[in-house]
Amino acid sequence: MPKRKKIYGLLAEFRNPADLYHACEKVRDAGYAAWDAYTPFPVHGLEQAMGLRRSVVPWIVAIMGFSGAGLGFLMQWWMSAVDYPLIISAKPYNSYPAFVPVTFELGILLGSFGAVFGMFALNRLPQLYHSLFNSDRFAKVTDDGFFIAIEARDPNYDPARTRALLEEAGAVAVEEVED
């Protein structure tokens, strides 16, 4: 007896960004939480249609950036003025005007790490396997496909009703995806 596969959810394809946008508004208003839109490029304003909040990446960057700069300055001060003070070209040990470049660079460096790795962490990337990759149709998401997937774990999920919602919202095709 073949084991019944677990269902990830419903995947619906839309024709263009506009249809997707309006469909997102409907799904949002229908109260779903575990769902997402999939697009080949960031569709402008879609986060409002989906009811998403602003990203927290800026906070990560700010914290990382300022601590990078702060630690960078402390490092230079400690190395040049505390641990091994040396007079060089008649400059004071703590030559803060000369420490600015490195302080700045380290601030930027850590800030950038914050931006990139913070983004990866928030997005749970890398994640080489995902249920949606089981759908052949889904390969188009990196070309010209616009999709919405509603997950089965969503409390509002109901195979029939959810499918109806998506179809009503203008889906070109709706399919069930295995987990």
Backbone region of residue 45 per phi and psi (left: phi > 0; alpha: psi in -120 to 50; beta: other values):
left
User: Which residues ranging from 100 to 129 are in contact with another protein (CB under 8 A)?
Assistant: 100-102, 104-106, 108-109, 111-113, 115-116, 118-120, 122-123, 125-129
Distance CA 117, CA 111 (A): 10
Return d(Cα 179, Cα 135) in angstroms, integer: 10
Q: Which is nearer to another protein, 3 or 29 (CB)?
A: 29
Site residues for another protein, 27-56, by CB under 8 A, read 36-47, 49-50, 52, 54-55
* C-alpha dihedral (121, 123, 125, 128), degrees to nearest 10: 150
Nearer to another protein, 144 or 178 (CB): 144
Question: According to CB under 8 A, which residues from 77 to 96 bind another protein?
Answer: 79-80, 83-84, 86, 88-91, 95
- Kindly state whether residue 21 participates in binding another protein, applying the rule CB under 8 A: yes
- What are 81's two structure tokens? 């003025």
Q: Which of residues 133-172 bind another protein (CB under 8 A)?
A: 133, 137-145, 147, 167-172
d(CA 27, CA 10): 12
